[in-house]
């Protein structure tokens, strides 16, 4: 069989386009197939920035309208700065998309095919698009995901929004100068739903966030989760944890949900309980690729159950983080093109939730570290932003930096909730990726004032804790200085 391409990428996501760019830079012959029906690319960070920017612009010009002044019972006046904020966000998205646009990829040498297709296994593995058979040594699935709708009584017959169309909803309301609904309920605790919750309250809406689990996010430290929930509640978000939703109904043109033992009335519902892969039309069963409702099955080399077919991005499950998807795309493409030796290791990949203030994490939480290591070898370093001169000057004192390290100085993980958390977590990610121990940061002399000082404070905390636990060393030092004071000068 004649091979047409080194790799065929079945796209429909930004990860697919990024993978195509990486492959062509490696001098591979690449085809990128994107479906006619595209679920679109959502920049969740830009969604969250709409609320932040609108609030900032309102405050700058002194036009912040409190809802009690002009609101109706069911609708919220559109912030005077919202149109400007959305225009700014749309321009930013256009610039970002231009870097991964199909014409740009075609100019780079990628064979771009905008058609629907599916796999065929007989007589050889190929990807069929219309009347064309795309033959490749390997294939990469990067078709993205779409919102998974939970089975809740009455939900299917009630209008609702998802994380995939909330951006369009806000944009259309802004264009038509239609008032925003006043009451919102968000079902599900995922990073993007929390971002949207804060955005909506900053636009003057009343938001209730309903989470089925006991904690607002299951994968972060409980201490940080409590701080995050407290911040949302200060902003005006009503948070209901450990609360399953059992029924949704419409009564007299109003929407109601049954959340635990509470019946809550609302104007709009956003469903954000998770994602499901866009793979139904690809005929994966014919090529022995297994997948479940929420994800494809892959190994640590990102191979599916068919070793010639790889996958990356949110099609394989997990939260929708662009940096994680791009990392997976690099691993998958290099394995697909060369000798399939690279394995994914998420230990040094940071994650971020774009709130005000921001939450960023990397590696293990304290609970995870104590399960994997001897608890007596674990040191927890906590430093608060209120101790930083920069935080005091800028009035951004809310925040905590929590590092999890071993007594030998190895950094196992970190979570930062506060201003510039995204930049600080990148610094820690670099240290972890280079196996730099915490004691090697002792000589760090960050600019003063700056938020990076909190890393230096954590280093001093580690030295202090280690010293306090070494009784023999403390006794030796005390004896040394006692003898030294008795020396004749």
Question: Please, are residues 77 and 71 in contact by the beta-carbon 8 Å criterion?
Answer: yes
Cα gap 128→282, rounded to integer Å: 10
Alpha-carbon dihedral 299, 302, 306, 309, rounded to 10 degrees:
180
- Which has the closest alpha carbon to 36: 103, 116, 91? 116
Q: Calculate ∠ Cα 286-290-292, nearest 5°.
A: 130
Model pLDDT, residue 269: 96
Model pLDDT, residue 47: 62
Q: How many CA atoms lie within 13 A of 216 on its CB side?
A: 28
Question: Please, are residues 291 and 119 in contact by the beta-carbon 8 Å criterion?
Answer: no
> Does 193 show up as a binding residue in the annotation?
yes
- Which has the closest alpha carbon to 366: 400, 415, 406, 404? 404
Handedness of CA 212, 216, 220, 226 (dihedral sign): negative
> Does 307 show up as a binding residue in the annotation?
no
> Does 191 show up as a binding residue in the annotation?
yes
Model pLDDT, residue 114: 93
Burial class (CB in 10 A: 0-12, 13-18, 19+), 252: exposed
Cα gap 408→271, rounded to integer Å: 45
> Does 194 show up as a binding residue in the annotation?
yes
Question: Please, are residues 201 and 225 in contact by the beta-carbon 8 Å criterion?
Answer: no
Q: In this structure, what DSSP letter does residue 281 have? A: G
Contacts of 198 (CB under 8 A, 6+ apart): 48, 51, 232, 235, 237, 355, 356
Model pLDDT, residue 294: 83
Cα gap 451→401, rounded to integer Å: 11
> Does 188 show up as a binding residue in the annotation?
yes
Q: Calculate ∠ Cα 45-50-51, nearest 5°.
A: 110
- Which has the closest alpha carbon to 437: 412, 473, 470, 402? 412
Entry pTM: 0.88
> Does 314 show up as a binding residue in the annotation?
yes
SS3 (DSSP) at 180: strand
> Does 274 show up as a binding residue in the annotation?
yes
Model pLDDT, residue 481: 78
Cα gap 58→319, rounded to integer Å: 32
Q: Calculate ∠ Cα 364-367-369, nearest 5°.
A: 45
First to last CA, the chain: 90
- Which has the closest alpha carbon to 390: 311, 449, 321? 449
> Does 350 show up as a binding residue in the annotation?
no
Contacts of 166 (CB under 8 A, 6+ apart): 47, 196, 270
pLDDT along the chain (489 residues), means of 10: 88 92 95 76 61 60 41 58 74 77 92 94 90 93 92 92 88 83 94 91 92 92 94 95 94 90 94 91 94 90 96 89 94 95 94 92 95 94 94 93 94 95 95 93 86 92 80 75 73
Backbone angles phi, psi at 187, to 5 degrees: -95, 115
Token pair for 247: 């029924």
Model pLDDT, residue 67: 37
Cα gap 239→388, rounded to integer Å: 30
Residue 312 is inside which H or E element, if any? none
Residue reference for tokens 């993205």: 144
Long-range CB contacts for residues 389-398, cutoff 8 Å, separation at least 24: 389/448, 389/449, 389/453, 390/449, 390/450, 390/451, 390/453, 391/418, 391/419, 391/451, 393/449, 394/419, 396/357, 398/231, 398/357
Cα gap 424→178, rounded to integer Å: 40
SS3 (DSSP) at 240: strand
Contacts of 304 (CB under 8 A, 6+ apart): 141, 289, 290, 296, 297, 298, 310, 311
Strands 126-129 and 117-120: antiparallel
Give the chain's domains with CATH numbers. Answer: 5-36+115-147+276-347 (3.50.50.60), 73-82+149-273 (3.50.50.60), 357-471 (3.30.390.30)
Question: Please, are residues 12 and 143 in contact by the beta-carbon 8 Å criterion?
Answer: yes
SS3 (DSSP) at 216: coil
Model pLDDT, residue 1: 62
């Amino acid at each position: 069989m004649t091979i047409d391409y080194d790799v065929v990428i079945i796209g429909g996501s930004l990860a697919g386009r990024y993978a195509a760019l990486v492959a062509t830079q490696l001098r591979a012959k690449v085809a990128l197939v994107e479906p006619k029906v595209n679920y679109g690319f959502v920049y969740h960070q830009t969604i969250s920035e709409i609320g932040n920017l609108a609030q900032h612009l309102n405050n700058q010009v002194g036009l912040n309208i409190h809802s009690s002044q002009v609101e109706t019972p069911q609708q919220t006046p559109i912030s005077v700065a919202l149109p400007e904020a959305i225009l700014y966000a749309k321009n930013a998205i256009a610039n970002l998309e231009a870097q991964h646009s199909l014409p740009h990829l075609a100019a780079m040498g990628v064979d771009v095919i905008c058609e629907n297709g599916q796999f065929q296994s007989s007589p050889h593995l190929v990807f069929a698009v219309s009347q064309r058979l795309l033959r490749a040594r390997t294939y990469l699935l990067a078709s993205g995901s779409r919102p998974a709708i939970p089975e809740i009584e009455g939900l299917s017959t009630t209008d609702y929004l998802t994380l995939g169309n909330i951006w369009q909803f806000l944009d259309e309301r802004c264009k038509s100068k239609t008032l925003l609904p006043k009451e919102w309920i968000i079902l599900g605790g995922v990073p993007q739903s929390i971002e949207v919750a804060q955005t909506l309250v900053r636009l003057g809406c009343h938001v209730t966030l309903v989470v089925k689990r006991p904690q607002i996010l299951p994968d972060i430290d409980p201490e940080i989760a409590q701080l995050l929930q407290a911040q949302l509640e200060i902003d005006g978000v009503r948070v209901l944890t450990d609360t399953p939703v059992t029924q949704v109904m419409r009564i007299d043109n109003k929407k109601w949900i049954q959340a635990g033992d509470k019946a809550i009335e609302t104007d709009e519902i956003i469903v954000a309980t998770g994602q499901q892969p866009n793979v139904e039309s690809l005929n994966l069963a014919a090529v022995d690729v297994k997948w479940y409702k929420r994800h494809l099955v892959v190994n640590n080399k990102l191979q599916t159950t068919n070793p010639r077919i790889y996958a990356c991005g949110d099609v394989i499950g997990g939260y929708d983080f662009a940096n994680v998807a791009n990392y997976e795309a690099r691993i998958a493409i290099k394995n697909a093109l060369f000798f399939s030796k690279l394995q994914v290791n998420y230990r040094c990949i940071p994650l971020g939730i774009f709130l005000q203030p921001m939450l960023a994490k990397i590696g293990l939480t304290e609970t995870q570290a104590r399960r994997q290591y001897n608890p007596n070898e674990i040191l927890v370093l906590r430093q608060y932003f209120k101790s930083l001169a920069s935080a005091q000057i800028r009035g951004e004192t809310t925040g905590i930096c929590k590092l999890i390290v071993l007594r030998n100085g190895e950094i196992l993980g970190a979570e930062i909730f506060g201003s510039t958390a995204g930049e600080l977590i990148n610094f820690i990610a670099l240290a972890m990726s280079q196996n730099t121990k915490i004691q090697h940061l002792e000589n760090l002399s960050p600019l003063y004032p700056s938020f990076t000082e909190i890393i230096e404070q954590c280093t001093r905390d580690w030295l202090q804790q280690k010293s306090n636990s070494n009784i023999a060393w403390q006794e030796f030092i005390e004896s040394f200085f006692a003898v030294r004071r008795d020396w004749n000068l």
